Chains A and B, each alone.
Chain A
């Protein structure tokens, strides 16, 4: 049974269909593993065995009757704590929501539950998804299962650590500037941020609404395709959800790659990338050439501006979104205050952590009278230049590749003293969010200290099926995505 922790979703589905294991047994297998290993990792911040097993029993019932089941019925997964989950504490990694039990389900949660998936629990994250190392969570940092002295990346660090440690077969994540891809890279997983508008943001606690997007995190591209099939699609409750025909994201997985044109932006292969990351990425590109792809150099001349532009736009949107946390309708309220104004400012001072407050203050400043044009409007114009670069590049290639992160996972505290250094961890991922393009990361080897390296694939708008095909073919030829860390106390 222990091999099930390393099984693909398709294998788990087959085991459930063949009655080799029940949904209750499968959920119990992972819950027991979580009990044993999570204290050393801090990936899960909410667990409820009764709720999980109730959902698993319902899945077993459906599997027995054989009606209304999908390929995912009975398979467990866990949700990043940014997704409202009915009856579950939904904290967004913040003291502000430490007592918030959601009265409703996010669209993504609802769709995955409707597909029969079983919720194992809620996953730790950087507070309000603001961070690249999971060190900003009110509930303490998540440890990287490959080396517990290193960060798992962020903000979906709990999702990444949980899958890497095989505490869950799959998880949900969100990506505003790299929050799915960077932790996937740092923990040796596959993660996909879809095109903006493909997955509904309903019930996903907002950070920067023009950039936020939900996506799947799992061991392989094939798993990600199955998950995306279950939760992508139009939802009228999100005003930016796109009305498009339903897609089968697995449809192209088996297509051969001969003739595939891979664009390599020269800006992604400069001095910023560590030598060990470059070696792993170069080896992956050599593998792609062996699989019949050709590589062409492309240019993204404005990509160097993506981090500064992002740190105007994202905080501006955050300062607006997070104004809803006022200690009136939900969330933390300070114990002592003289009047309404002080109740607001004290509740927010005590309920938000340092990085969240920094971003609200920056966002408020760039939107304030006299500075709006100089900062916010300027950044939006540069955003258009960055997006236009990609469209020019896609004239010469089908997908773009490069590193996901400039380095492998770094030690706790290495970047937390200097916000700008931390922001630069997302230098290769942020431009994709600004342009609204889909991006993914897949494991492509190991670098310094035997830590995982991620290869990034960027597609054109709605290129998810193509990207998953490109990733799947690589994963058929390599086995990086099957490697798992050796954990103290774990029976491997």
Chain B
């Protein structure tokens, strides 16, 4: 199936990537090119095949519930776009 402009707008919204009207058209064409290429997967019979999510079968390790990291708030906030009094600043969400 191929994507129309509404599909592209919906995917861009889900992806939180702003696209202008002009970008939507070129993006639609590029995405349809890629989707056309991956369409060949549909022709393969995969009845009874277990999906492979990972290269190796590993189980999630557990560790004791103890503090192992030191507090480095100042270091980590030094790379943030905007902070104040140890908090990350973003536009007002709740009026």
Contact = CB atoms under 8 A, between A and B. Distances in A.
Interface of A: 99-101, 103, 195-197, 210-211, 236, 239-240, 242, 302, 305, 307-309, 311-312, 319, 323, 326-333, 337-346, 348-349, 352, 357-358, 360-362, 364-365, 368, 374-375, 377-385, 387, 418-420, 423, 433-436, 461
29 contacts: A210-B53, A211-B55, A236-B63, A240-B54, A242-B56, A305-B44, A307-B37, A309-B38, A327-B81, A329-B80, A331-B81, A332-B81, A340-B93, A345-B17, A348-B16, A349-B19, A358-B27, A358-B31, A361-B31, A365-B3, A368-B14, A378-B46, A379-B38, A381-B52, A382-B49, A383-B52, A420-B34, A423-B37, A436-B54
Contacts of A365: 3, 7, 11, 31, 35
A333 B52 contact: no
A429 to B, nearest CB: 15
Given A364-B14, A368-B11, A384-B51, A240 B58 contact: yes
Given A308-B41, A360-B17, A340 B90 contact: yes
Interface of B: 3, 7-8, 11-19, 27, 30-31, 33-35, 37-42, 44, 46, 49-56, 58, 60-61, 63, 72, 75-76, 78-82, 88, 90-93
B30 A358 contact: yes
Contacts of B58: 197, 239-240, 242
Enumerate the 10 nearest inter-chain pairs by beta-carbon distance, A residue then B residue, closest first. Answer: A436-B55, A380-B51, A333-B81, A384-B52, A381-B46, A196-B55, A349-B18, A345-B18, A381-B49, A103-B75
Contacts of B11: 361, 364-365, 368
A345 B20 CA distance: 11
* Interface residues of B, dominant DSSP: loop
A240 B61 CA distance: 9
A469 B76 CA distance: 43
A377 B56 contact: no
A239 B44 contact: no
Contacts of B8: 361
A403 to B, nearest CB: 21
A382 B52 CA distance: 8
Nearest to A359: B34
Contacts of A362: 31, 34-35
Main secondary structure of the interface of A (DSSP, over half): helix
Contact of B90 (A312, A319, A328, A331): A328
Contacts of A357: 15, 17, 27
A211 B70 CA distance: 30
A95 B27 CA distance: 20
Contacts of A196: 55-56
B2 to A, nearest CB: 12
B11 to A, nearest CB: 5
B40 to A, nearest CB: 5
A377 B53 CA distance: 9
A327 B83 CA distance: 12
A105 B58 CA distance: 25
Given A196-B55, A236-B61, A328 B15 contact: no
